[in-house]
Amino acid sequence: MRRLVIVGAGPVGLTAALAAHHRGLDVSVVEADPRARVRPGSRAIFVHRESLRLLDRISPGLGLELADLGLVWGAKRTLWAGREVYERVYGPTRGPFPPFSSLPQSLLEERLRRACDRAGVRVHWGVRVTGAVSGPDGAAVRTGDGRIEGTHVIAADGARSVVRDSVGIALAGSSSGTDFVVVDVHDAQRPLKAERVLHYRHPAVDGRNVLLVPFRGGWRIDLQCAGERESAAFAADPDAWVADVLPGHRVAWVSRYRFHQRVAERFADGHGRVLLAGDAAHLFPPFGARGMNSGVADAVAAVDAVVEGGVQEYATRRRAAAVANCAAAGRACAHLLARRWPERVRQRAAALVAPVWEPAGRWLDTAAFGPRVHRVRY
């Protein structure tokens, strides 16, 4: 019988565990943090319809549960210097799954853990993996207490993957030179209309770009900064500017980040025994919510590959999807940043004509999640 060892108990690792149980594998999950860990911030808040379907397939009822728990905003707007240049209102959802469910990652992980508990999946909490080895007949991970062996290992241990490094796979690519500040705020006593709002040159923050995205229980604010010093100043005192961007809301969490565009050179080791998934395999800018959703697809496809003997096909197909997602997110990021003067001129021209020519406003709006022709690859 195939025995699968999964490293990492985040959304990707827990999804892989549920998929493995669904396919009848003997599965163990190894996680460095204790189960009672509390990770601050909303982090990945956007679960796509296809991810909901995948989760419902491997754990019946889970996708529908997450759909009910999350928020589906019914409109999106884009503004230029405080003036609206685009709006789209969505109609009723068709079918059992909405287009997406917007909820904090902590809530998603809690429901995944519950599903694993119901399935009887073994999770070794508080066990740190120090390395991994593989051979023609199987693979193992090293821990402080010894080894955990299996026929295959799925590395879902994040961007600094110990497993990936142990089997000699590089994560290649680049990082953006522009810093962002992300702030979570709690819902106000009088909640605002649930809509995604993109501000180009927001007048309340000296013309910086701001993205507002609602999720169940609050809002996320993304503020584009010129560099590390500027982002540090805004992160140090969020109350000084958040009140002007989203009045009446209380700051719950603040962080800074820099976008990365990196894809592993291979998604499986030379023996076909160690498979990479999620952030261990790729890092994207968050435009289009491609990171975690692509990781969910990785997890299910990796388990299918182990069961069906298609590891090399998995490695080829999922890497191609990662490259496409990385490129699309990168284009959306470049569209928003507009580093070169021709891009800035094009943005300004689009803002000027948007009131009389709808495609111009729609084009400006694509910066938030990327062009529709470049959907998330599953």
Give the pairing of strands 75-80 and 195-202.
Answer: parallel
Contact (Cβ atoms closer than 8 angstroms) between residue 241 and residue 234: yes
**What's the Cα-to-Cα distance from 130 to each of 39, 68, 242, rounded to whole Å?**
22, 39, 41
Tokens of 138: 């199987």
The answer, yes or no, to whether residue 307 has pLDDT greater than 90, is yes
Q: What is the pLDDT of residue 373?
A: 41
Which of 29-33, 180-184, 346-350, 370-374 has the weakest average pLDDT?
370-374
Domain map of the chain by residue range?
3-71+96-173+260-330
Mean pLDDT on 170-196: 87
Overall average pLDDT of the 234-263 stretch:
92
pLDDT, the chain, mean: 92
Amino acid at 173: G
Give the model confidence (pLDDT) of 338-355 as tens digits. Answer: 888 999 999 999 999 999
pLDDT digits 0-9 by tens, 276-296: 999 999 998 887 788 999 999
Tokens of 269: 């080791």
| C-alpha dist (Å) from residue 276 to 50, 76, 185, 338 | 20, 35, 34, 33
Q: Which residues have C-beta within 8 Å of that of residue 366, sequence separation ≥ 6?
A: 332, 335, 372
CATH 3.40.50.800 fits domain 3-71+96-173+260-330: no
Provide the 10 A C-beta neighbour count for residue 332: 23
Q: Kindly state the tokens that stand for 135.
A: 């051979």
Residue 62: band (very low, low, confident or very high) from pLDDT cuts 50, 70, 90: very high
**Of all residues in the chain, what percent carry a pLDDT higher than 70?**
96
Nearest to 374 by CA among 301, 288, 298, 313: 288
For 126-140, 247-261, 333-347, 357-371, which range has the lowest pLDDT when averaged over its residues?
357-371
pTM: 0.94
Higher pLDDT, 87 or 330: 87
| Residue bearing tokens 């601050």 | 40
3-state secondary structure of 256: strand
